[in-house]
Structure 1
Amino acid sequence: MRNRFAFQSWYFLFWLVFFVAAKAIFLGYHTAKTAALAWSTVRGIFGYGLQLDASTAAYLCIIPFLLLLGGNLAGSRFPTDRLIRFYTAVMGVVVSVLTVADLELYRAWGFRLDTTPLQYLDSPAEMVASAGSAPLGLLGGIFGGLLVLGWVLYTKIVGRLPTLPAGFGRARAALVSLLLLALLVVPLRGGLQQIPINQSDVYFSSQPFANHAAVNVPWNVLNSLLLKNSGPNPYHFMPDSTAQRLVKQLYAAPATANLSNYNILRTPRPNVLFIILESFTAKFVGSTGGEQGVTPNLDSLARTGVLFTNVYASGDRSQKGLVALLSGYPNQPTGSIIKVPRKTEKLPHLARSFKQAGYRSAYYYGGELAFANMKSYLVAAGYDQLTERADFAPQDQNSKWGAHDHVLFNRILTDLSQKKPPGQPFFLTAFTLSSHEPFEIPIPKKFPGTSETALFRNSIYYTDWALGRFLRQASRQPWWENTLVVLVADHGHPLPDNSANESPAKFHIPLVLAGGALRPEARGRTITAFGAQTDVATTLLTQLGLPSNDYTWGRDLLRPGGNSFAFYNFNDGFGMLSPAGAVTYDHVARRVISRDAGVPDAQVRQGQAYQQVSFEDYLRK
């Protein structure tokens, strides 16, 4: 006979088994795609997918566990069993509807069910058209089968709620129920790790279908409901044709340009070492007008490389900077496209562009790639190798984020010394983290003080120290003479000086090109044209003579002439900079926040047009 206190565990198991069965039905429905997978990949779908399945099961358990808690306090008069059965029946129908709808929508659209169908509620004709070719009889049969399966599983696994054991008081029973309720926190967030669970945790394969199949549909729908930016476009300032014309003018190539000394590389296919520096605000970089002495190594590289003095981050978070830098794609005023894997899968990516040119690729990060859904984005990009926190020894990590920067760079040097095949060029992306809060560093402080600004300043100094140490060792390697180094920040920072959220100073970042692959005559050049992170990919690919047509939101910052501007997003607003000055705009208030004296009305309109067109593009991904 089952114990009343095992009921909650059995109830959780019921939902878990149901979701595993639903996953099997999804794979069976898409037989052709499933047949193309190796058995190990199919096993991975269930193994990795179990994390989101458990999280969803935990969410569905909250109300029944609360009902059981109330029933234990109220006694036999409280209809606990009937209420739990009613709730389970309702949720079983809802989950079954979502599961069946997802089967056909995935076939038609290529992504798992989310809130996208809600966009068609005001267009029933489109909804009917979308379902016109669906095998309604088969789907109806699957729906009925899911309901029967749910009833059988509930009967066999959960069954009737047992009564309280004789002599076991209500208070003690309620305490047990409360403890089991509290334990749901673990599967809810996907475990005890620092970063709560997201789609990245189930993205494990280079085959998109396998990653999609591992996702739990109810979880995906709920997650999508909690995310904004589903449409319609709230940033509509002018007719679409006008906005598109203004944006096209911004990206118009100069009719004539002096292209002497345009190519800065002395080799056609250099290795590319793309280093993204966490929070490296220009306010701490002497070569970009910031404090002197904080980044001596970066400043030295700026004097012997190519320095861009007016580059701005496209957003204010790491995940936004990654997409802007590696895909040349603009940010959104709220949220980030990286949270929506089905959209990021449609973006171009430098790793993919270089792979098509015969490069091998690797991504190094000392932290957890699951953070902010980065892993799904990187897996879809097709990197040959991903290195993250779990690949480093615990003693080499700080207390919060992961491996210290000098440890990360040491790992890169070791791996590059063993690179295979030796003649193949590499595209290597490295993302530092030590200059992120809480600013813990493994070397003595350079600057005095215990304020947050002082800690931040010292962390920037440490990362610069680790960078200099790494590049000095790299310069003695045989691959160095054929290597281009790209140094750029993921975003800026309010510190020092506590820049306002929308302030251009907060978004001003360094960009330096260095390395043995530079032409001697290119060394020491300074580019003063305004640009954004979205321009870096286009600039890099153009220098290598590789196609950049897919990077439609980027400009070549090394090409003389053309428009000089930078656009960035902060939460519910944008900034637009040009040689005339800067303007910032608040989307909620629908007004300009700040505007330099020389900024014309046309620049405000250009910023509005850029926001309108770029967000419309996001919605259509």
Structure 2
Amino acid sequence: MDLLKSAPLRFLLLLTSSWLVIFLLTRSVLLITHLDEAGSHFLPLFGIGVLYDLGFLAYAALPLGLYLLLCPPGLWRRKGHRWFLQGLLCVSLFAMLFTAVAEWLFWDEFGVRFNFIAVDYLVYSDEVLNNLLESYPIGTLLSILAVLAIALSLALRKLFNAALDAPLPALRGRLVGALGLALLAGASLQLLSQDSPRAQGGNAYQNELASNGPYQFFAAFRNNELDYPQFYRSLPAPIVARQLRDELSEPNARFIGNDPLDIRRVIDNPGTLRKANIILVTIESFSAKYMGSNGDERNLTPNLDALRKQSLYFNNFYATGTRTDRGLEAITLAIPPTPGRSIVKRVGRESGFASLGQQLSAIGYDSVFVYGGRGYFDNMNAFFGGNGYRVVDQSSVEESQIHFKNAWGMADEDLYQQTLKLADADYEKQQPFLLQLMTTSNHRPYTYPDDRIDIKSGKGRDGAVKYTDYAIGQFLEAARQKPWFDNTIFVFVADHTAGSAGKEDLPITNYQIPLFIYGPKLIEARETAQLASQIDLAPTLLGLLNLDYQSTFFGRNLLQDNPLPPRVVVGNYQHLGLFDGQDLAILSPRQGLRRHDQALGDSRESQAEASDPLVTRAITYYQAASYGFKQQLLGWKPAPKASVEISVR
């Protein structure tokens, strides 16, 4: 008897074919709604997509296929087992329809199919589930999907009956079929990966559409960290060491490490140490494009537009990544985005670094990470607690002091009220402070207290942006009445932009964020077009304090005259880039090297060689950062007491 015509495999083919059709429809809908971004010549993506679809089905169908083939004939012929398989078909259709809708929502948020971000969302299910419940009519949506699944299973009733009425194979045939399924799954494991057979470079939307969301989701469990030497192009250590000196040799820096790739150096900032307070506000998902002073006509940011004129404002400033943990990593550790997970989320390896907070705690500052949400999210508590900070988050605040909260945390105005209390307490103790904040209000579901602004809560990003601006205005107005205000530096910077997806793997314009450094008694107000990155913020702040210290920062003091070549580093979970203000070099897995000339304009993509000076610079930053992390060269080493005493005179 032909094994493929047997009841178990006919039922398995019915189920997997249904899944395959849903995958095709999902890809088609995503393509149709993004035709402008996907461009032309997109038909091949369906062929590549089928390979990914079949690869996922080879995994997903294996357990069920083994059960069907090894099910005893007596159990198979029972009426109850037939109803069980009918229910299984219906449930599987519901699961695939739910996955298709989830992919649509994920694509709307990030512009990609599932990746390790989706895995993180599963880990932090409480926040994510509450966010979904507050953002979408989940009950109605699930009901519609359930009705569709039942309707589809009934529509397939004839094929279902025909499959189950087919003859059962002999034991030998069933064993051969089980072995074949196992071999097929094994072959899929060996032949497919997250980045192949998709091409390196090209249209990023097409590359994402060609993949399979569920496949990407499960692959992310295995590939949430990527070993740099294994996946990316490296250069000989002497070449990287020379280039590192060219990138990091500020006039007041002296390298002291023995390893050629050790960037540890002594920074001798001129002038007398001034222990000014620092309040560093990291704003959730705030793109520079929302500001009225940048041309937006919706009047969403009147307070920040006014603050721009009163601050040292950087109008050519870039985030290193696309997620909050990447922004916090860059701002706190001044390190480029190493591939895969950020250091913040590398559980067990997230502490002991020479962070901004650690540097200031060593000279008597109260370094506090103040978060509007719950600090276990994204491993923030462990990261900041292990790197020189004490942590104050939503769980540290009495419910009576929280006037509004949503899935992600308390409203920004409540966060700022807690900040004022912390600053007051430190002032009473005559202790300088670093209060490093992370806001939450500018995030889906975009809800905030009523009667604050003229846009109703929960109506979209515009309202969240305007409320974010409102809360900042109220905070600064209250801070100006405090006795510690004149000796305080206020920093407002975004963790990342509101949307970083584009036709390219690293659309550089979508990484631009604002940076305000405000201190009327301490800093001259002016605007600068200097090309700068989040990794430059920590050394710039320590430079403002005239602090001498041992640095493991890849960033540089933006206020110091030096001949260092301009650059920013940007990345996502796979692709790593270096932008010099005009052109962009991109490093990709499987040793991929590309460059985009005129990256802010027509962005002409071409393949590149490691000898290309721009590519060499990119490799240097990422190879050295990954090496330093792996070899524990970026750890905190307190300076001898005598040297600290000399530095504060």
TM-score by length of 1: 0.58
- AA aligned to 2:614 is Q
Structure 2: which amino acid aligns with 1:571? Y
* TM-fit CA distance, 1:287: 4.6
Deviations 1:141-167 (A, max 9, x none): xxxxxxxxxxxxxxxxxxxxxxxxxxx
1:293 aligns with 2:299: yes
Which residue of 615, 618, 625 corresponds with 1:607?
A: 618
Alignment-derived partner of residue 438 in structure 1: 445
What is the Cα deviation at residue 382 of structure 1? 3.2
Give yes or no for contact 1:366–1:432 (8 Å, CA) kept in 2.
yes
Alpha carbons 1:280, 1:492 under 8 Å: kept? yes
Once the two structures are superposed, the pairs formed by residues 313-328 of structure 1 within 5 Å of their partners are 313-328=319-334
1:87-236 to 2 correspondences below 5 Å:
193-194=126-127, 227-230=224-227, 232-236=229-233
| Residue of structure 2 equivalent to 1:512 | 516
Partner of 2:149: none
Q: Secondary structure at the match of 1:303?
A: helix
Q: Partners of 2:416 and 2:226 in 1: how far apart?
A: 37
Where 1:329 maps in the other structure, the secondary structure is: coil
Question: What is the one-letter code of the residue matched to 2:551?
Answer: D
Given candidates 568, 575, 578, the residue that maps to 1:576 is 578
For residues 246 and 619 of structure 2, the distance between their equivalents in structure 1, rounded to whole angstroms, comes to 14
1:37-436 correspondence runs (5 A): 193-194=126-127, 227-230=224-227, 232-253=229-250, 268-287=274-293, 293-389=299-395, 391=397, 393=399, 396-419=403-426, 421-436=428-443
Q: Distance in 1 between matches of 2:622 and 2:125?
A: 39
Q: Could you tell me which amino acid in structure 2 is paired with residue 404 of structure 1?
A: A
What are the superposed Cα offsets for residues 498-545 of structure 1, whole Å, 9 maximum, x if unpaired?
Answer: 6855111211111111135x43xx432222221111111111112212
Residue aligning to 1:127 = none
Q: What is the DSSP-based 3-state SS (H/G/I as helix, E as strand, rest coil) of the residue aligned with 1:332?
A: coil
Contact 1:240 1:613 in 2 (8 A): no
1:385-427 Cα deviation digits (max 9, x unpaired): 4222463539734432110111111222234334465311111
Give CA deviations for 1:110-156 in whole Å, capped at 9, x if unaligned: xxxxxxxxxxxxxxxxxxxxxxxxxxxxxxxxxxxxxxxxxxxxxxx
Paired residue type of 1:436: H
Relative distance call for 1:449 and 1:485 in structure 2 (3 A) is closer
Instruction: Give the C-alpha shift of residue 365 in structure 1.
Output: 1.1
Separation in structure 2 between the aligned mates of residue 341 and residue 191 of structure 1, nearest angstrom = 14
Do the aligned partners of residues 530 and 227 (structure 1) sit closer, same or farther apart at CA in structure 2, a change above 3 Å counting? same
Aligned equivalents of 2:427, 2:252: Cα separation in 1: 44
Is the aligned partner of 1:466 residue 2:471? yes
Q: Is the 8 A contact 2:273 2:547 kept in 1?
A: no
1:567 to 1:447, Cα distance in 2 relative to 1, 3 A: farther
SS in 1 for 2:386: helix
Q: Distance in 1 between matches of 2:503 and 2:395?
A: 31
Matched position secondary structure for 1:343: coil
Structure 1 residues 404 and 335 mapped into 2: Cα distance closer, same or farther (>3 Å)?
A: same
- Given residue 282 of structure 1, which amino acid in structure 2 is its aligned partner? A
**Match for residue 540 of structure 2?**
539
State the distance in 2 between where 1:408 and 1:238 align.
46
RMSD: 4.7
Query: What is the rounded CA distance, in whole Å, between the counterparts of 1:498 and 1:448 in structure 2?
Result: 28
2:615 maps to amino acid: V
Distance 2:408 2:435 in 1: 21
- Residues 457-496 of structure 1 correspond to what in structure 2 (within 5 A)? 457-494=462-499
CA distance in 2, matches of 1:361, 1:348: 13
Asked if the contact 1:493–1:507 (Cα under 8 Å) also holds between the matched residues in 2, the reply is no
Amino acid at match of 1:613: A
Given the superposition, is the C-alpha separation of residues 533 and 499 from structure 1 closer, same or farther in structure 2, using an over 3 Å criterion? farther
1-structure distance, mates of 2:271, 2:243 = 33
In 1, Cα distance between equivalents of 2:370 and 2:124: 24
Please say if residues 364 and 430 of structure 1, whose CA atoms lie closer than 8 Å, have aligned partners that are also in contact: yes
Distance 2:124 2:505 in 1: 33
Deviations for 1:353-409, whole angstroms, at most 9, x for unmatched residues? 111111112221111211111111011023234222463539734432110111111
How far 1:477 moved relative to its partner? 0.7
Counterpart amino acid of residue 617 in structure 1: G
Counterpart of 1:87?
A: none
Counterpart residue number, 1:455? 460
CA distance in 1, matches of 2:544, 2:222: 42
Pair 267,548 (structure 1): closer, same or farther in 2 beyond 3 Å: closer
Q: Which runs of 5+ in 2 are unaligned?
A: 1-63, 83-121, 130-219, 254-268, 605-610, 633-649
Q: Normalised by the size of structure 2, how large is the TM-score?
A: 0.56
- 1:546 shift after superposition: 2.0
Aligned residues: 425
- Structure 1 segments unaligned to the other structure (5+ residues): 1-65, 78-168, 172-188, 197-222, 257-262
Could you tell me whether the CA contact under 8 Å between 1:365 and 1:432 is conserved in 2?
Answer: yes
Matched residues in 2 for 1:481 and 1:300: separation?
A: 19
Q: Does the residue aligned with 1:562 lie in a helix, a strand or coil?
A: coil
- Give the SS at the match of 1:567: strand
CA distance in 1, matches of 2:577, 2:586: 6
Q: What is the CA distance between 1:231 and its match in structure 2?
A: 5.5
Q: Give the conservation status (yes or no) of the 8 Å contact 1:333–1:573.
A: yes
